[in-house]
Amino acid sequence: MVVGQFFAVNLFIGVLVDRFLDQRRRGEGHALLTPTQQQWILVQKVLFRAEVRGEPQRPPGWRSPIFSLCSHWLFDLTMYILIAANSVLLSAYYYDMTQQVRNTLDTINIILISLFTLEIVLKCIAFGPFSFFGLLWNRLDVFVVALSWIGVALGNQSAVVGVFRVSRLLMLLRKMKGLQTLFVTLYHAIPEFLNVALVLMVLYFVFAIIGVQLFSNVPRGETISMYINFEHAGTALITLYIMMTQESWGDVTDELARNSTAAIPFSVTFMVIVSWVAINLLVTVVIDVFGEAEATEKQDASLRVIDHFRQVWCTYDPNGSKLLPVSVVLRILPTMPSSIWDRSPMKNGHSSPWVCVLRQLERLHIPVDPSKRVRYEDCIGSLALRLFSLSTSEAIHVSQSTIHGVSWQQSHFSIHHEFAALMISRTYRRYQASRRERLLETQVRTLRDQHAIVVETELQPLRKAYHEAINLIRWMAARENREGAAPAVFAQSLNEPIPSEDAFEIGRRASGASRNRDLLEPDDYINDANVEIVFGADDDDTVASTPPFSGLHQDPTVAMEASMGAWTMSILEDSRPSR
C-alpha cells in the first residue's frame, strides 16, 4: 500500500498533472512570456479588480432619511445579527418535535423573513431600484427571500420547505468577503472546468458503451442489482459513477469477472484513466485557479494602493462617469502613497517644486483628452504600471502583441504637458501682475510729484489692492464712455475675494452682478484684505468742467494721469482679518 498506492500511483498522477499544466501554459503562451510580459498580465489582472462604480447619491425629500438609515453602519450590523439568528433557527428544527415548538419556530421564521423583506424594500427606496438591482448580491438576496416566502406559503406539508429555508444561508455571501472571493474565483474558472468535465463525460460515455457491449448479459446478484448493472447506457453510467468513487468497485468487478474475462482489464483501465487521472485533472484545475487567485492576492500592497485610488476617485466621481478634470486628478495624485508619488527631494539638489511635480507626472504619463479630462482606465493603468515597475514604452511594446487581447496606445498629450502649460501660464500672469504693479507705483509717484491729492491710510505694499484699483479705474472709464456722463461719487466695498484680472468682470461685481468663480484657481483670488476704493470731487469742484477719464478709458495709466488732478483716490485697508 505504501509503495504502490501512496507512492507509485501518486507519482504517476503528479507527473501527468505537471505535464498537463505545462501544456496548458504553452497553449496560453505563458511558457514563452518574458518577465516583462508576465508583469503586464499581472497588471491586467489587478486592473480587472479595480472597476469603479457610481456610488448611490442621497435622494431628495422623504427618501433622504431612509438613505441615511440604510447607509449607517448600525444597519449593516443589525442585518449581520439577523443572518446569524437565521442560521441558529435553521439548526433548531428536529425530528418529531412538538406542535408548540414547531409553531414557535415558524413564527420566528416569519418574523425574520419579514425583516429581510423590509431591508430589501428600504434599500430599494433609498438607493433606487436601478442602483439596487444592479448588484448581483442584491439580486441573490431578493431570490432567497422569494424562495423563503414560497416555503411559508407551502406550509409544513411539503418536504421542499426545508430546502427553501436552507437557501437563506446564501445571504452570508453578501456579508462575508472571503466567501465572495471564493465564489467569484469559481465563477471565472467555469470555462476551464467545462473543458476537463467535457473530456470526463466523453470517457464516461465510451466506457459505458463498452460495458453494455461486454456485460449486458451478466445476471443480477448481490452487487449487480436493478440500478447497478450494464443492461443499458443509463444504468451503466450510474454503475461507472459508483465505481469511480471507489465504493465497492472490487465487488462489482468480482461479480462481472464470474461471467466475463474482460471484467478485470475493463475495471482496471477505467479506474486508472477516469478515477485517477481525469478526476485529478479536474482537481488540478481547481487548485491552479485558486493558485492564480492567491498569486494576485499576494500583491497585497499594490492592491491596497489601487483600492485607495479607486475610493478617492469615487468621492470625486459619485456618478461613475469615469471622467475627471485634470485639476481634480492633480489634487488626487499627491495623496497617493510613496510607491506612486515620491515625496523625497529630487536628486542633484534641484530646489524647484514645479520641476519635481513635473517629473513625477512625466513618469506616470497619464493621457489627457482634448477636453482636459482624464479617463479612469487611463489613470488606473498608469498607476498600475508604476506599481509594477513597468515603463510606458515597455507597456506599449508588450501590448502590441495579442496577449489576452489588451492594448496600450501612446498618448501625444499627457498630464505632465497640461501641468507644464499651466505653470507657464501662471508664470506669465504673475509677470504681467508684477509689471502692472511697477507701473502703478510709478504713476503714484508721478501724481505725488504733481501735488495730486493721494490719501493713504496705513497703506502697506498691498499689491493685489493696487491691481484692484487699476481694474476699477478702467471699469469706471469704460462706464463713463458708454453712458456719456461720469458719476460725481462712487463707493464700493469689496467684501469677497475677487480675481485680479478682467476689469469688465470686476465692474460686473461692483454693480451687483454675480460671477461664477469655480473655474479659477485659488491663487487668482484676493484674500489679503477688505479693500474700499472711493472716488470723489476735490475742493476745487472741477467735476462739471473737466469730466474724469474723458476720452481716456482704454489705458488705466493715462486715465490716472488725466483724472487724479481733479479726483481723490483713497485705498483704505480694512481692519478686519483677511478672508
Sheet holding 567-573, edge to edge: 454-457, 567-573, 531-537, 490-494
Collapsed DSSP state (helix, strand, coil) of residue 324: strand
Residues 415 and 315 in one domain: yes
- Write down which residue in 126, 155, 175 finishes a domain: 175
Q: What is the pLDDT of residue 111?
A: 92
410 and 507 share one domain: no
425 is a domain residue: no
What would the mean pLDDT of 65-70 be, rounded to a whole number?
89
For residue 332, the domain's CATH number is 1.10.238.10
The torsion region of residue 317 among left (phi > 0), alpha (psi -120 to 50) and beta comes to beta
Do residue 97 and residue 136 come from a single domain?
Answer: yes
Residues 342 and 407 reside in one and the same domain: yes
Q: What percent of the chain has pLDDT over 90?
A: 3
Does any domain span residue 50? no
Q: Quick one: 448 and 409 in the same domain?
A: no
Residue 51's Cα: distance from chain center in Å? 5
User: Do 341 and 447 have their domain in common?
Assistant: no
Q: Among the three residues 175, 194, 224, which one is the final residue of a domain in this structure?
A: 175
**394 and 308, same structural domain?**
yes
Half-sphere exposure of 360 (CA within 13 A, CB side): 23
Q: What percent of the chain has pLDDT over 70?
A: 54
Residues 415 and 447 in one domain: no
- Residue 253, domain member (yes or no): no
Contact (CB, 8 A) for 230 and 316: no
pLDDT digits (tens, 9 = 90+) for 88-117: 887 887 777 888 888 898 899 889 889 989
Is residue 519 within 8 A of residue 563, CB to CB? The reply is no
Write the pLDDT tens digit of every residue in 153-174: 876 655 555 666 666 666 666 6
pLDDT tier, 394 (very low <50, low <70, confident <90, very high otherwise): low
DSSP 426: H
Q: Are residues 19 and 92 in the same domain?
A: no
Residues 114 and 11 in one domain: no
Q: 479: pLDDT confidence band, cut at 50, 70 and 90? A: very low
The more confident residue out of 380 and 53 is 380
pLDDT classification of 53: cutoffs 50, 70, 90:
low
Q: What pLDDT score does 114 carry?
A: 92
Report the range of poorest mean pLDDT among 275-279, 453-457, 563-567. 563-567
| 264 occurs within a structural domain | no
- Of 128, 160, 175, which closes a domain? 175
The rounded distance, in Å, linking the Cα atoms of 385 and 86 is: 46
Strand 567-573 and strand 454-457: the pairing is parallel
Task: Please indicate, yes or no, whether residues 321 and 399 belong to a single structural domain of this protein.
Answer: yes
Sort strands 373-375 and 531-537 into parallel, antiparallel or unpaired: unpaired
Asked if residue 58 is part of any domain, the answer here is: no
Q: 563 in a domain, yes or no?
A: yes
pLDDT of residue 200 exceeding 60, the answer is: yes
What are the residue ranges of helices labelled H in 273-299?
279-297
pLDDT, average across residues 75-86: 85
Inter-residue contact 306 to 384 (CB < 8 Å): yes
Number of independent structural domains in the chain = 4
**Which whole number is the average pLDDT over 163-187?**
68
Torsion sign (Cα): 209, 210, 214, 219: negative
Q: How confident is the model at residue 218 (pLDDT cuts 50, 70, 90)?
A: confident
305 and 393 inside one domain = yes
Calculate mean pLDDT across residues 141-158: 78
Sequence-distant (6+) residues with CB within 8 A of 19 are none
CATH code for the domain of 97: 1.20.120.350
Domain housing 478: 443-573
The 10s digit of each residue's pLDDT in 313-344 is: 888 887 777 888 888 888 888 888 777 777 66
Would residue 553 count as lying in a domain? Answer: yes
In a domain, 204, yes or no: no
